[in-house]
């Protein structure tokens, strides 16, 4: 079995187990019934750390169901093979070669750490960050809720934010806390840290005592690209949302609240899926900006989805190089190998094609249920990109999807979580050398 096949089967197995657990009455609130297709949709959304929901997590699921969703988020965010590899080491057994390949390809091979150290460090780092986030949130929620509820709310949202999942135990997400710098600050930090990628965090922690300039010179090209592209996208998204929504959803808010909401929307649009503003009320221009951010997503080896920041960065660098008549793609005084550039283009093109196909399919299946609504194309396109980017933001049509539509979105969430990664793994395989070459012929471009 090839690594890509094993990865898909592992995710499918976790989704099915989660769907079975969420289909049992013990997972429901009293008087609520969760249909099998809704349980499958919720399990897929949790394992693929998306956050799209057809059932209200806070209202429709019991504490057992919420804990099941939280567990699925955790294993889905870190990667199923990471957990399985860790437990294999705990039992004193050897890790199969197939698992080694999958874990290495999932988190990259830029560091020479052995697999056991890599997996252990990832789990330690994750638990520490989530614990700190939960403690900070508890200090705020304990002023509003009793100790038990505040503790569970803090833990749930800390894990959900770090894993970029977007599931919330508040029916309106964080709209209630739009102007709260404590809650917004902690959630934004968790989302950003979770979206950077574990190896980027490890690279940043390698020389904490060095001066900023010296540390910058020792960072890997991937870390520099991730930081540059992520920072640029957050800044551009925040400024765009601030000015596009100042007379719409931000009208009447204080300057501080406007800034917090704009930054939150820019950050969460990448892969997280929380919201402090009513997504359905956003202007079409803002929704377009959010859709572009959702398509790019987080960074390689992180808990987020999308085509990844490095793919987008290489795409922009390639365009700049070609416009300047340069053959090689250069970034931060480094030349990106051509095979990496070609792989990035393939992932970009394949991802764009997947989005187009599923958007068309949803427009067909949802014609009857959403045909009477205005802006159907905009809403379906937004839903499609949200599912592919494993974001979780929605204009409110998720619960109105037909059974066929829910299955399509479930499949798209799975593709969005492992699709680009699987494509990259497949393209990174052994090269097939061809002993012949066809005649060359030019084609007009533009």
DSSP letters, 375-431, are THHHHHHHHHHHHHTT----SS-GGG--HHHHHHHHHHHHHHHHHHHHHHHHHTS--
Burial class (CB in 10 A: 0-12, 13-18, 19+), 264: buried
Which residues have CB under 8 Å from 328's CB, separation 6+? 321, 335, 336, 338
441 falls within a domain: no
Q: What are the CA-CA distances from residue 106 to residues 79, 276, 342 (Å)?
A: 8, 32, 19
State phi, psi for 262 to the nearest 5 degrees. Answer: -70, -45
438 within some domain: no
Residue 445 lies in a domain: no
Helix (H) or strand (E) holding 335: strand 334-336
- Whole-number pLDDT of residue 215: 61
Q: Residue 301: its pLDDT value, please?
A: 74
Q: Is residue 103 part of a domain?
A: yes
What is the tally of structural domains in the chain? Answer: 1
DSSP H or E stretch at residue 153: helix 147-162
The answer to whether position 91 is within a domain reads yes
Nearest by Cα to 162 from 84, 297, 49: 49
State which H helix or E strand residue 331 sits in.
strand 329-331
State residue 81's pLDDT score.
55
In the prediction, which pLDDT does 334 show? 87
What CA dihedral angle connects 102, 107, 110 and 111, to 10 degrees?
Answer: -90
Does 201 reside within a domain?
Answer: yes
Q: Which range of residues forms the domain containing residue 120?
A: 3-426
Counting as low any pLDDT under 70, the low residues of the chain are 1-4, 79-116, 207-216, 372-373, 420-434, 445-446
At residue 72, the pLDDT reads 93
- Model pLDDT, residue 187: 95
**Looking at residue 95, what DSSP letter applies?**
P
In whole angstroms, give the CA distance from residue 309 to residue 196.
9
Residues 6+ apart with CB under 8 A from 152: 63, 169
Does a structural domain hold residue 432?
Answer: no
Confidence (pLDDT) at 219: 82
Q: Cα separations (Å) of 263 from 37, 129, 239? A: 35, 21, 8
| Residues 223, 311: Cα–Cα separation, whole Å | 13
If one counts every other C-beta atom within 10 angstroms of the C-beta of residue 142, the result is 15
Q: Give the whole-angstrom CA distance, residue 227 versus residue 195.
A: 11
Looking at the domain assignment, is residue 312 inside a domain? yes
pLDDT of residue 253: 87
So what's the pLDDT on residue 339? 85
The answer to whether the predicted template modeling score (pTM) of the entire model surpasses 0.75 is yes
């Amino acid at each position: 079995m090839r690594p890509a096949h094993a990865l898909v089967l592992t995710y499918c197995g976790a989704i099915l187990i989660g769907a079975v657990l969420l289909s049992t009455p013990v997972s429901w609130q009293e008087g609520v019934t969760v249909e099998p297709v809704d349980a499958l949709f919720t399990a897929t959304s949790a394992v693929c750390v998306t956050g799209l929901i057809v059932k209200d997590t806070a209202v429709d699921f019991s504490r057992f169901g919420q804990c099941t969703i939280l567990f699925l988020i955790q294993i889905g965010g870190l990667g199923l093979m990471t957990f399985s590899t860790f437990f294999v080491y705990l039992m004193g057994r050897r890790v199969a070669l197939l698992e080694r390949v999958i874990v290495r390809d999932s988190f990259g091979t830029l560091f020479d750490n052995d697999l056991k150290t890599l997996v252990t460090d990832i789990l330690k780092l994750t638990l520490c960050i989530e614990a700190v986030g939960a403690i900070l949130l508890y200090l705020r929620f304990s002023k509003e809720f009793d100790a038990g509820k505040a503790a569970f709310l803090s833990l749930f949202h800390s894990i959900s934010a770090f894993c970029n999942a977007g599931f919330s135990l508040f029916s309106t997400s964080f709209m209630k806390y739009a102007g709260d710098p404590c809650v917004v600050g902690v959630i934004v930090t968790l989302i950003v840290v979770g979206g950077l990628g574990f190896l980027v965090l490890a690279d940043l922690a390698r020389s904490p005592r060095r001066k900023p300039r010296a540390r910058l010179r020792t960072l890997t090209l991937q870390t520099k690209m991730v930081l540059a592209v992520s920072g640029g996208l957050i800044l551009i998204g925040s400024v765009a949302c601030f000015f596009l929504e100042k007379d719409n959803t931000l009208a009447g808010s204080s300057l501080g609240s406007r800034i917090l909401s704009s930054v939150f929307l820019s950050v969460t649009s990448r892969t997280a899926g929380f919201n402090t503003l009513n997504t359905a009320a956003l202007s079409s221009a803002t929704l377009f900006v959010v859709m572009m951010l959702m398509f790019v997503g987080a960074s390689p080896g992180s808990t987020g989805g999308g085509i990844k920041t490095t793919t987008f960065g290489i795409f922009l660098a390639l365009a700049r190089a070609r416009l300047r008549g340069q053959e090689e793609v250069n970034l931060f005084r480094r030349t990106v190998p051509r095979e990496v550039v070609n792989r990035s283009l393939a992932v970009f093109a394949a991802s764009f094609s997947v989005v187009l196909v599923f958007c068309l399919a949803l427009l067909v299946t949802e014609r009857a249920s959403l045909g009477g609504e205005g802006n159907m194309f905009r809403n379906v396109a937004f839903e499609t990109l949200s599912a592919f980017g494993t974001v979780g933001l929605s204009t409110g049509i998720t619960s109105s999807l037909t059974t066929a539509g829910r299955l399509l979105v479930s499949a798209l969430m799975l593709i969005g979580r492992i699709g680009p990664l699987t494509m990259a793994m497949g393209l990174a395989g052994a090269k097939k050398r061809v002993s012949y070459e066809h005649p060359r012929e030019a084609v007009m471009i533009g």
